[in-house]
Amino acid sequence: MSQKGTQSIQFDEAPYIISSASIVGTKEGEGPLGKLFDVVGADDLFGENTWEEAESTLQKEAAALAMGKAKLAKEDIRYLFAGDLLGQSIATTFGLMELNIPLFGLYGACSTAGESLSLAAMAVAAGFGEQVLAVTSSHFASAEKQFRFPLEYANQRPLSATWTVTGSGAFVVGKRKTKARITGITTGKVVDYGIKDSMNMGAAMAPAACDTIYRNLVDFGRSPQDYDKIITGDLGYVGQEILIRLLREKGFDISGQHMDCGIEIFDRETQDTHSGGSGCGCSAVTLSAYLLPKLEKGEYQRILFVPTGALLSTVSFHEGKSVPGIAHGVVIEHA
C-alpha cells in the first residue's frame, strides 16, 4: 500500500525523471535563468502565424527535445499527460497530435505541470507504462487574449498582476534509472478564499499552495527542513508573502525553504513583470532548466515542487465568481 495520510502517495518503486526539456520566449531568455533553457525562441511566434499555433509549437518542440535527450522514439512513449491554459486545451491538441501517442488531456490551470507529473508517476509506478511523457505550456500572448485583453489594447497592469511565461516544459518519466526520482505526490483540492480579483492571482492561489504543502508535511510526517527547497509555481511576490504567513498560522515556517518559479524566472528590477511570472510553462521550464540540474548534481537532496493554479475563466469572472486555487505537490529526490 502506497497511500500516505489523507491525500498523498509514496511510491514503493519510485519512477525516475529520465529526461526533460525547456523552450521559452525572448523575455524569458533575457531573464535570470535565460542561459539555462534548452531553446530560446528568436521571436515569440516561433515561426507560426498565430499565438495559439506558437504555443502548440512550444509543446511539440519540448516533447521532441525531451524524447531526444532520453534517446527514445515516440513509439517508446506509452502515454501523454498534457495540458495548457487555453479554452478546450487547444495548444495541447494541435501541439501533440502528430506524436500519435495516447493522450490524457488535463486541466489544472497553472498547476498542470504538477498534475501531469503526478499522473505520469502514478502510471509508471503502477506498471501501466515503461515511459510516459508529461508536457505543459503557456504563452504570454495567447493567455492575455484568453484571460485579459488583446495585446493591441496596451492596457495597464496592476502591480499584483503576474506575467504569463512563454514556454513549455516536457518530462519523460519512466523506469530507467537516473539521478532524479519522483518519490511521492500530494494531490491538491480546490481551495476558495473568495478572492475575486483576477489581477491578483498570487493571493487567490496562496491558500491552495498552503493547503497542499501542509498536507504534504503532515502526510509524510516531515518538517520544512526535510526539503532543501519547497517550490511553488507562480505565486509571485504577493502570493509568497501570503503563503508564508498562512503556513506559519498552521505551525510551519517555510521561509527558509520557499522558492517561487514566478519570482526566479524574471528580474524584478529590470523586466517590469510586476509580481513575477505565471502560467503552466513557468513552473515546468524552471523545474527542467534550473531545479532538476541542481537535484541531479546532489546540490538538492529532496525538493517539494508545488505548481499552483488559479481556476477561473473570463465567463466565471464576468459572472462575479471567485477565483479558487489548486496546487499539486510532487516530491523529487536525488537518486
Using CB under 8 A, list all residues that contact its own copies: 1-3, 7, 9, 50, 52-53, 78-79, 83, 85-90, 93-94, 96-97, 100-109, 115, 118-119, 122-123, 125-129, 145-146, 187-192, 311-316, 319, 321, 324, 326
Work out how close the CB of 302 gets to its own copies at its nearest, in angstroms, rounded to a whole number: 21
Work out how close the CB of 228 gets to its own copies at its nearest, in angstroms, rounded to a whole number: 25
**Cell 523529487 identifies what position?**
332
Provide the 8-state DSSP code for 38.
S
For its own copies, give the closer residue by CB, 7 or 22. 7
Per DSSP, the residues of 194-256 read: ----TT-HHHHHHHHHHHHHHHHHHHHT--GGGSSEEEESS-HHHHHHHHHHHHHHTT---TT
For its own copies, give the closer residue by CB, 123 or 172. 123
Task: Tell me the chain's radius of gyration from C-alpha atoms.
Answer: 18
Provide the 8-state DSSP code for 290.
I
For its own copies, give the closer residue by CB, 43 or 75. 75
Work out how close the CB of 127 gets to its own copies at its nearest, in angstroms, rounded to a whole number: 6
78 Cβ neighbours under 8 A, 6+ residues apart: 101, 102, 123, 128, 129, 130, 131, 132
For its own copies, give the closer residue by CB, 119 or 230. 119
For its own copies, give the closer residue by CB, 86 or 165. 86
For its own copies, give the closer residue by CB, 7 or 168. 7
Work out how close the CB of 2 gets to its own copies at its nearest, in angstroms, rounded to a whole number: 6
Phi and psi dihedrals of 117, rounded to 5? -65, -35
Work out how close the CB of 49 gets to its own copies at its nearest, in angstroms, rounded to a whole number: 8
50 Cβ neighbours under 8 A, 6+ residues apart: none
Dist. CA 203–CA 214, nearest whole Å: 17
Work out how close the CB of 64 gets to its own copies at its nearest, in angstroms, rounded to a whole number: 16
